[in-house]
């Protein structure tokens, strides 16, 4: 096993907390408040089967979503929801309302990028937010 912990720019996922919600979990890999202070936010989102995050927006940031696995319904700008699956990318302009719902039987994994970073901080205000400390596994289900 290779020890990458001393490599410049390496991000150790197990050293980061996990944000947990009733609908799934997020591991923020790059954020402005981490050492080095990036200008963007990058995270991996896991949306549980039959779950999703409700209509919301990010007033100060655009967002790009990239579906790694699973199948979902994506709504952007209050338009008709459309199906997304692995390999699909979704661009959400700044302040535009959107939502994502997993319609498959397996967890849906999505990469989320905010530009500029910082919108992830607002998620901590949601009533179902819980933070799982680094190194601990979230309890899903």
For residue 105, what is the enclosing H or E element?
none
49-76: average pLDDT: 97
Pick the CATH number of 23-132 from 2.60.120.10, 3.40.50.1000, 2.60.450.10, 2.40.128.720: 2.60.120.10
121-138: average pLDDT: 93
- pLDDT confidence band for 120 (50 / 70 / 90): very high
Query: What was the pLDDT predicted at 34?
Result: 81
Query: What was the pLDDT predicted at 3?
Result: 61
Q: Which two tokens stand for residue 37?
A: 């202070």
Q: Which two tokens stand for residue 27?
A: 């591991």
73-93: average pLDDT: 98
How far is residue 19's CA from residue 70's CA, in Å, rounded to a whole number?
20
Give the percent of the chain with pLDDT over 90.
84
| SS3 of the chain: helix, strand, coil, percent, to 5 | 5, 45, 50
Q: Where are the domains positioned within the chain?
A: 23-132
Place of tokens 């498959």: 104
């Amino acid at each position: 096993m290779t020890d990458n912990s001393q490599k410049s720019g390496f991000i150790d996922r197990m050293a980061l907390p996990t944000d947990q919600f009733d609908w799934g979990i997020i591991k923020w890999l790059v954020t402005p408040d981490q050492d080095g202070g990036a200008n963007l936010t990058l995270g991996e989102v896991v949306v549980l089967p039959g779950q999703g995050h409700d209509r919301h927006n990010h007033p100060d940031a655009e967002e790009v979503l990239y579906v790694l696995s699973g199948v979902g319904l994506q709504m952007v700008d209050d338009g008709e929801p459309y199906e997304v699956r692995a390999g699909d990318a979704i661009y959400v302009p700044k302040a535009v309302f959107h939502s994502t719902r997993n319609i498959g039987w397996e967890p849906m994994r999505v990469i989320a990028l905010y530009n500029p970073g910082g919108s992830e901080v607002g998620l901590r205000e949601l009533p179902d937010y819980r933070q799982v400390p680094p190194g601990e596994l979230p309890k899903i289900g």
